[in-house]
Structure 1
Amino acid sequence: LKDAISQILKYPKEKLNIDEGLGDFGFDSISLAEFADVLSERYGLEITPDIFFGYPTIERLSQYFLERYSDEMQAFYHESGKEVSLTTPPENRGQKIRKSRSEKLGTKQKQTGVEKEPIAIIGMSGRFPDARNVEELWFLLHEGREVISEAPYERVEWRESQNNTEDRKEVNKRFGVIPGISEFEPQFFEISPREAMNMDPRQRLLLQETWKALEDAGYGSKSFEDEKIGMFVGIEDGDYKLLVDEEAGITSNHNAILAARLSYFLNLDGPNMAINTACSSGLVAVHQACQSLRNGECDTAIVAGANLLITPDSYNAMNKAGMLSADGKCYAFDKRANGMVPAE
């Protein structure tokens, strides 16, 4: 492993600490993909770059190979006449570990007597790049249409950035753009027009789409009586406050308020959570909602995620970190993958 890393990164092998993270050596998404290809060819296995996120050090990565591919490693190093620096685990050690964990889990479930009831999805709504609702998204997927584009004219901050010659040399700013983020009827939600202008557009978007999701589920205003409805939102820090600056009220651009807006408006009785675990925020929100339902903390859960690129700041930061695809294409789970393309 040290040999492969040293060759790819031109990094002195003697300086590679087996307990340090791979990112500390200078790996990025492209070089990690190259590392996976080298290991795949060397061992005759199908290795993909995602493995390095679960096993981010040389020590953990080597243990993974020795446990997951015990037979293959023994055969490889025996045939090549090389010695393994780490003790080779007993045969099928990984299977025994998984079996032991499974048995412990089964015993625990028998002791508690808890059976997980199924959870039904009864309503849905959303807005996506070039799609104002879920139905339009299905059409985009069915047609296989690409919806990555430059920022629209009304995004003033992006337009000024595109006119910057230095930025243009750096990267052609293209991403998935949600239509109509300025559209909002404040009086419907009993919000003053002035406050609505200073509100994070993600708050406005969530109010509209969660309301539609409740309608889709057949919930009316009287449906909330004697029922605990929780709100779980996957959300990262927004950048709208950079535009409104001093005009922004503390409630207008606060993530905790973002998750509680609808509950306040409808007087819902249930937990409210704004969850930020970076890229996994939406999935963690789904998990937390399921836990809350099964623990009896709420009877119905609304789960949402909201992401808008109001200013080019986060885009520029991702570009400087080497995260973005040079050709503006996102080849997910593909050997051609050379970076990501952000979208709202």
Structure 2
Amino acid sequence: MDKPIIVINPRSHQGTAFKRWLSIKQGLIHHLPDGFEEAVIENDKTLDEILGVRIAKSSELIIIVAGGDGSINYLINYLIKYHKSHLQKLAIGGIGLGSSNDFHKPALKIIKGIPLMIDLEKPWVKHDIGVAKYVGENGISLEKYFVINASIGVTAQANWNFNNPSALLKFFKSNSSSLAIFYTAISTILKHKNITVQIEYNDEKFESELSNLNLLKIPFISGNFRYPQSVPSDNGFFGLNFSHHMGTLDLIKLMFDLGKGVFDVDEKKISDYTDRLKVTSKESFVLEFDGETDKCHSVEIEIVPKAINLLAK
């Protein structure tokens, strides 16, 4: 097997990722004792320029992404678009240089506060991925893949706000990720309005006033917010958690509950499993996947079982 290649996204974490990378680079020798190659995404250098030839020629290849959840999503979408036939000879690992780093949770290995998803002693882990098909606001049909989770409602809107920050939020993001995430959650909840949607999953089809919907392959959704639901990596199902008809106080309680890993089902909350979901609305809504965001009126999401290999945490 070739040496693992570490792909570094220096733009992660408000452009501080490369400095964070340098702070832990020497410490990686304990986790990658046979060494590694490194490549930096810079000067408009594409992933294909970095990885294309290596993937085609290697019999097995470990690719470790040093960046945030968005960097992981970027790699997954690139691999499926250009190297789908090679996926089973690849394994994906991660070094969490981003703001939330949900892909790396729960973090079992940490260097200087930075979580690692790098364990070469354990077998590769099979992992399902989601594919979201929708028409963007520009009228173009899109197909996006995700490995962590997807959302609609207040979580998605919070991610949109986080990705398009005000001056105050930029300050928080530069100084404290946890404070930035908490501020974004509170400010989004205070402005939130429920969305009238039609939902289809399993054998259910109904209309509802959607407050929040999380579709999970990893139960962490941002910072300390997480669901208690068990979601095996390769069972062919998403964890579906749906909150509806909630007011501001309900959403604030939901936020504090999720901060403790609590989601108690009641008349306003549904928890289930599904391998497909369709959400349609007359209103435009934000769709979030692995922290990336877009807007649409309708989305169909399906699972692709055991599509990729991950390094053990």
With normalisation by structure 2, the TM-score equals 0.24
Structure with greater Cα Rg: 1
Higher RCO structure, 1 or 2 (CA under 8 Å, sep 6+): 2
Q: Which is strand-richer, 1 or 2?
A: 2
With normalisation by structure 1, the TM-score equals 0.22
